[in-house]
Chains A and B, each alone.
Chain A
Amino acid sequence: MFDNILIYFVVIPVLMLAGVALCKNVKQIRAVAVVGSLALTALSVYLLLDYLHLRHVGATAQMLYTGSWAWFTPLNINLSVGVDGISIAMILLSSIILLTGSFASWTIAQPKEFFLWLILLSTGVFGFFISIDLFTMFMFYEVALIPMYLLIGVWGSGNKNYSAMKLTLMLMGGSAFLMLGLIGIYYHSAPEGQPLTWNLLEIARNGAISENWQLFLFPMTFVGFGVLGAMFPFHTWSPDGHASAPTAVSMLHAGVLMKLGGYGCFRVAIYLMPYAANELAWIFLILTGISVVYGAFSACVQTDLKYINAYSSVSHCGLVLFAILMLNTTAMSGAIMQMLSHGLMTALFFALIGMIYGRTHTRDIRQMGGLMQIMPYLAVCYVIAGMASLGLPGLSGFVAEMTIFVGSFQQGMTDYLAGAGSLRLVFTIIACCSIVITAVYILRVVGKLLLGPVYDDHHRELTDATWWERLSTATLIICVAAIGCFPNFFINLIKFTFSPEIFSVLNFTQHSGIASVLGMN
């Protein structure tokens, strides 16, 4: 069991938990958290390189590093692990955000308990991304959700009890749908007379879920994961939850946990139920298309920095689900890029907001101004994060959005010309409009918060970033710029998964470009 590299993504956090439990003072806790998350980062970088190497030398299996250990045989529950490029990208993202999040919570109160819960949460996250067994996946999913309640309820700010309760209850509500869906999938996972299974790959290979059942189970799983992906109208936990959560929790939650939603929709709902995905995509396209512009418009009039960012997350994560539903290779790659991009970018945003809030003790943009003169480092980082968010080329947002738009437009036009309705086309154009609205709210914040004259003279005494804050933000900015400057590396990492042989849903819609529509090839 321990000869599989993937298992260490769960083992290291568990060791970290034990380590933190044994710590006696805050320095030891910081050391454990930083060393542990550095180890995870190093491991995920190694995994990335090794994966690319294996693909380079010709590994063609869909998932690599697979392993399976029986856990509860009467119900066929196994601990099955395996990763492809997409999971590796997500694992890398999680470890980077855990690392920077540890730096961002350098001076948190009650550090021992905080880090215990935080690391438990990341155990769930890593476990989710490495699992290919639906049951263990769901279990890790819940492990990642529950600590959130305490992290917000205890270390939060503002109306934290309400927010923590709301967030947990809404996500649990989603989980209820999800569990129904997963159990339904389990009972249709194999043809008559064969043993049932929870294993994703086997279920996909069997393809035994009947079309009617797909139509029932697809909305269950999609909504279940969609709640976590902040899909309209199940997004309202996001503004309150993010506003109340402490910095590192906001970072991990917006940066990684919301990705669990997108990843789950993609890996479970669409992958296992291609027929229903194609049939029902329109409903969710409308919902996610609304998310994209709705979140952006809402963000335009918020006054709390965290609310602005939470609504912007609704908009950006909406774009992830939107792109996934295009059922088109390019758009789906774009969705994965957007997950990475949004994860890093929004973690950077929340880190900066936490740092600014820690100094000014307000998050109301009406009560701040001219911070560029007072804390130039943080302000410049904020501008860079904003630029990434509004899609400046060279930073991650641009490549992700452009890949999505190109893919969606191709799919929309293909649908339209093939007489399959203009829904995708119309919503693509609507989604494109979000780049303008995003610019409006980002520049509004930058203008009010950072530029202009200093609003409050008491702020003049505030200090700029400390070394751990610089480290945390600089790491994130480097990652954002790396994706923005070398997008093809990431596209190559994830493109293997998107072949019609693996992703059978692409068979429904794989034609793209005018040539195939007109039969000109």
Chain B
Amino acid sequence: MDVTLPIIILALPLFMFLFLGLLGKYMSHRLAGILGTAGMGITLICAYTVAFTYFFSGNPDFINAEGERLQQIVFNVTWLQFTPSLVLRLGFLIDPISSMMLVVITTISFMVHLYSNGYMRDHHGVWEKGFQRFYAFLSLFSFSMLGLVVATNIFQMYIFWELVGASSYLLIGFYYTKPSAVSASKKAFIVTRFADLGFLIGILILSFYAGTFDFTHLTSVAVEGLNHVYQVSEGTAQNILSIFANNPASTFMGASVLTWALVLIFMGGMGKSAMMPLHIWLPDAMEGPTPVSALIHAATMVVAGVYLVARLFPLYLMETAALDIIVVVGALTAFYAAMVACVQVDIKRVLAFSTISQIAFMMVSLGVARPEFHHGLGYMASMFHLFTHAMFKALLFLCAGALIHAIGSNDYTAMHGLRKYMPITHVTFLIGCLAIAGIIPFAGFFSKDEILTACFGHSIFWYIWMSCVAGLTAFYMFRLYFLIFWWKEHKVHDPHHAPHDQPWTMTLPLVILAVVSCFAGFVPFGNLVTWNGHPMFESVSFLTNLENLDWSVAAISLTVAVVAILIAMKMYKTENELPAKMRNALPALWDWCYHRFYWDELYMFITHRIIFGLVCKPIAWFDRHIIDGTMDSFATLTNKASWSIRGLQSGNVQTYVWIYLIGVILLGSITAICLI
């Protein structure tokens, strides 16, 4: 593939960041917005061209005679040479998942760029302060995220991983005069930084044993080894498995080194993807502007953890213990987040917890994926869900942004019955809810169904568990929907200031994403994205996904979803006492859910009381009083010694005479004795 387009994809957002960041304040708001959006538009076109070339051109670089999709490194530049063999390169890798991610990121990013033109100004058309800075940060984020997905090696991924974290910090703290935004951004950065520590150590272990950072080397050799394991063919290549397995010290504290490395790397993914117990930053991150939440904290950055695991999936397959951990973490997180989402008041928080829950779905799906079951269906389902979720969750967030923009509050208590005033938002939000609830034929139905099928193939327990979570998902999303758009009539005091739909810059992205959410489910993902590049279906048509459904699973999940929606409708469609009764029936549970199971309080306790109170402060005290005291006491001792002997030099001549006399007499007598 020609290097021009990949370079533009990476360089243009970076250039836009520097350009808008340095010169933004000298240009008008409108111009900055247009430039930022246009820059993203060009990136979008380039990314689409690259992705479509990869998937559909049939070029033998990308797809071999058996129809397997291949990885290709477009370019790879040496950036930092650690040792002669261990080299950190920056490059551009295209394979099914990176191409898919290019599409997702540029689409959502472009929608958000467009949408922000309308969102980042108030009803009178006055631009938000720092509008140009906002676009600069968005460009920086897009650059980092694109660099992350096309990384050719795990260290490049780490570099962009950090950059993504920093741009997320900047965007969450965009309203930097608000203390809550400042602390939310700080929390997001530090929690993910903590997770990245695990990621870093994992990379160090992996690179030490494998002697390389490169994904192609790591995974293709692993794939070769796995073919050996799973297909019982004659594999003689010296592969990573043997490096790890033949190692005398390959176990550490009961687990193999590879497991440790993979679990630590997954820890990095847990941080970015807000898995329990490192999820606490994501709900707070909603302090950022809503388009940012849509872009970063719903569609792209938070799925980086899933992407990371998917990227190293062949390695994970070699150590299924790590995959089991992923399943457990994911399943617990999914359930936890769904519970919490059922009682939140702030609509962005509901969406945030829903995001956590959905990402956990993807994680579980990866965790249960095994090549022996439907050619690694879980892997495909996870990526599929990542794709569809990005679309409908971005849609939901952008709708929420429209509502917040119209109402001026994040709480549904200030909304209620908005369907008449904001019809476009209403319809698009409903489509988003139907998609996430998994109603046929919306996008979420197909991807979620694949995930549940994969769970079913792995273990019946996790299948039931995840089905319950899917039911909860449908319930809390429709609870939100009914509470915003129904429940009771919206009171309008002044017809001129009634809530209304938005300018076209905001409406257009909603409509586009809604259309995508309707039809994304029909994309034949099984033939595009699989763990080893093998296509799943013989032939492809528009209805491939529908034809290949496992209807027993699909019927159950549909039923669960419909029942959940009906319950939500019963409870929230019109104003009634039922929700209050429910709440009073289980006050403790409600309380725990409302307070997010007190995770934040626990973290507050650990960081403030233990880290600050019991580590930092004693160390600072120790430094000032013990270490410094010792150093000072050397000085004090010297001083004291001098003072104590200074009396000898009294300045009193009479004393000197006495001493002189005594000395003379002593000397004289000694001399006399000696002479005699």
Q: Which residues does A use to contact B, with CB under 8 Å? A: 166, 169-170, 232-233, 235-237, 294, 297-298, 300-302, 329-330, 370, 372-373, 387, 390-394, 398-399, 402-403, 405-407, 409-410, 413, 416-417, 429, 432-433, 435-436, 439-440, 443-444, 447, 450-453, 487-488, 491-492, 495, 512-515, 518
Contacts and interface: CB of A to CB of B under 8 A. Distances in A.
B248 A435 contact: no
A169 B637 CA distance: 14
Contact of B80 (A410, A440, A488): A488
B82 A406 contact: yes
Interface string B11-47: 0000000000000000000000000000000000000
A342 to B, nearest CB: 18
B200 A435 contact: yes
Contacts of A405: 200, 204
A393 B155 CA distance: 11
A451 B162 contact: no
Given A406-B204, A451-B173, A298 B620 contact: yes
A514 B208 contact: yes
Contacts of A301: 612, 616-617, 620
B208 A300 contact: no
Nearest to A429: B201
Contact of B189 (A294, A439, A487): A439
Interface in B623-662: 623, 627-628, 630-632, 635
Contact of B182 (A300, A402, A452): A452
B249 A416 contact: yes
A336 B663 CA distance: 63
B615 interface: yes
- Size class of the B contact interface (CB-based, 8 Å): 35 or more
A459 B194 CA distance: 35
B159 A398 contact: yes
A417 B249 contact: yes
B72 to A, nearest CB: 24
B193 A436 contact: yes
A514 B80 contact: no
Interface string B77-100: 011111101101000000000000
B669 interface: no
B82 A166 contact: no
6 A-B pairs with least C-beta separation: A393-B159, A409-B204, A451-B176, A300-B616, A451-B182, A236-B628
Contacts of B204: 405-406, 409, 432
B371 interface: no
A407 B82 contact: yes
A345 B207 CA distance: 29
Nearest to B629: A236
Majority-rule SS of A interface residues: helix
Interface in B205-222: 205, 207-209, 211
B582 interface: no
A435 to B, nearest CB: 6
A436 B208 contact: no
Contacts of B627: 232-233, 235-236
Contacts of B82: 330, 403, 406-407
Nearest to A486: B79
B310 to A, nearest CB: 22
Q: Among A387, A451, A453, A491, find the residue whose CB has the most chain B CB atoms closer than 10 A.
A: A451
B241 interface: no
A491 B183 contact: no
A401 to B, nearest CB: 10
Interface in B188-205: 189-190, 193-194, 196-197, 200-201, 204-205
B540 interface: no
Contact of A447 (B186, B197, B200, B201): B186
A237 B628 CA distance: 9
B162 A392 contact: yes
B201 to A, nearest CB: 6
B523 interface: no
B495 interface: no
Given A297-B616, A329-B83, A514-B247, 18 more contacts: A298-B620, A300-B612, A300-B620, A301-B620, A391-B162, A393-B159, A393-B162, A394-B163, A398-B162, A406-B83, A417-B249, A443-B190, A447-B183, A450-B176, A451-B176, A488-B78, A491-B81, A514-B208
22 contacts: A166-B632, A233-B627, A236-B627, A237-B631, A294-B619, A297-B615, A329-B83, A330-B82, A330-B83, A330-B86, A370-B177, A392-B162, A392-B166, A393-B159, A406-B82, A406-B86, A406-B207, A436-B197, A451-B173, A451-B176, A488-B81, A513-B211
Contacts of B86: 330, 406, 410, 513
Q: Among A232, A403, A450, find the residue whose CB has the most chain B CB atoms closer than 10 A.
A: A403
Contact of A432 (B201, B243, B612): B201
Given A297-B616, A370-B177, A443-B189, A432 B83 contact: no
B186 A443 contact: yes
Given A300-B612, A393-B163, A432 B208 contact: no
